[in-house]
Amino acid sequence: MTKLQMILGGSAVVAVFALVGCGKNKAVAATEEYAEKVCACKDADCLKKENEAFTKKAEELKDAKGSDADMKAIEEAGKKVVDCTMKITMKDVPGAGKEDKKDEKK
């Protein structure tokens, strides 16, 4: 699985929750837990494992309903997933996420 596929996969799962309008009960909790687990990952293998587990959970919760506040909580957790996934997947890319040395000299 490529890094981009992992990023898009995690985002797509969160988007599924957002489109069906999940409730705070199980769906928000599951999404927030997913974000915490993804952010605790140190490598792509961990990201893949967590994405697969969350995909199964999302399928179980696909019919959940919720409020606007629940939707906002899911969106925030989704942003956290994307941010953490980017940090993990980009850490091995030379120059990614680092300040440009030319800018530091100015």
Is the pTM higher than 0.95? The answer reads: no
* Average pLDDT value over all residues in the chain: 79
- pLDDT bracket for residue 66 (50, 70, 90): confident
The more confidently predicted of residues 104 and 48 is 48
Q: Would you tell me the crossing angle of helices 44-60 and 29-40 to the nearest 10 degrees?
A: 170
Predicted confidence (pLDDT) per residue in 5-46, tens digit:
555 566 555 555 554 444 357 899 999 999 999 999 999 999
Lowest-confidence pick of 1-15, 46-60, 73-87: 1-15
In 1-106, beta strands by DSSP E: none
Q: What is the distance between the alpha carbons of residues 64 and 60, in angstroms, rounded to a whole number? A: 9
Q: Please state, in angstroms and rounded to a whole number, the distance separating the CA atoms of residues 75 and 88.
A: 20
Tokens representing 50 are: 């967590």
Q: What is the pLDDT of residue 60?
A: 92
Q: What is the rounded average pLDDT of the residues 38-64?
A: 93
